[in-house]
Homo-oligomer: A and B are copies of this chain.
Amino acid sequence: MAPSGQSADHRPLSADDWTTRALTLLMDEGVAAVKISRLCSDFGVTKGSFYWRFDDLESLKEAIAVKWCAQSKRSLEDMAGLAALEPLERLRAMTRGVVNDRMWSVQRALRDWARSDEQVAETLAQTDAFMFGLVQQTLEELGSAPDRARTLAGLLVYASIGFAHGPSGLPQPDEGDIDGLMRLLAEDRGTRGGDQPPAT
């Protein structure tokens, strides 16, 4: 039988090998699949092999968090980098990205782990703060006064987190809802400083 690809030969497994495989499992099969025993059987090694690279499961989770947050930040930067688009379109792109992203399971797992792991918590916190900054800034470009931009951005970011956590009976927003949201944000335009709000 031909070698099945993976580690049919026995070159050593790096820490990144473990982390990459774990993240893949997390995305494909959910948090329940992220188990040391599962990883070992995937790689065809025994558990001692895992413990050579990591202190325990927690360390692996921290590594997963770092890897995923880096990826996530990069894709957010890409969206924001579309500075060519006018602010409202950028917001719409981000919203759509949040709504139909299938990365939720990862985000949920990370927030869960963050509650018992300071490292994971901090990694996630940075990503959250980054996103908050992007949204706030975009809203200000849109014409919202700084105060309102801050409140609205908080609302939007928290909503996106909540959205990742509840298929629970709430209406799943469709394109129309996104339009409604954008209209709502757009109307905020002109609330800044001394400008006159257009009366329609």
A contact patch SS: helix
Identity of the chain B residue whose Cβ is nearest the Cβ of A187 in the assembled complex: B191
Taking a contact as CB atoms closer than 8 A, the residue among B111, B163, B200 that contacts A166 in the complex is B111
Q: How many residues of A contact B (CB 8 A)?
A: 47
Residues of B within 8 A of A163 (CB): 158, 161-162
Residues of B within 8 A of A151 (CB): 177, 180-181, 184
User: Is the C-beta of A155 less than 8 angstroms from some C-beta in chain B?
Assistant: yes
> Quick check: A132 and B170 within 8 Å, CB to CB?
yes
User: Is the C-beta of A148 less than 8 angstroms from some C-beta in chain B?
Assistant: yes
CA A165 to CA B166, docked complex, whole Å: 11
Residues of B within 8 A of A132 (CB): 169-171
From A2-10, A48-56, A119-127, give the one contacting chain B.
Answer: A119-127
User: Is the C-beta of A157 less than 8 angstroms from some C-beta in chain B?
Assistant: yes
Residues of B within 8 A of A125 (CB): 168-169
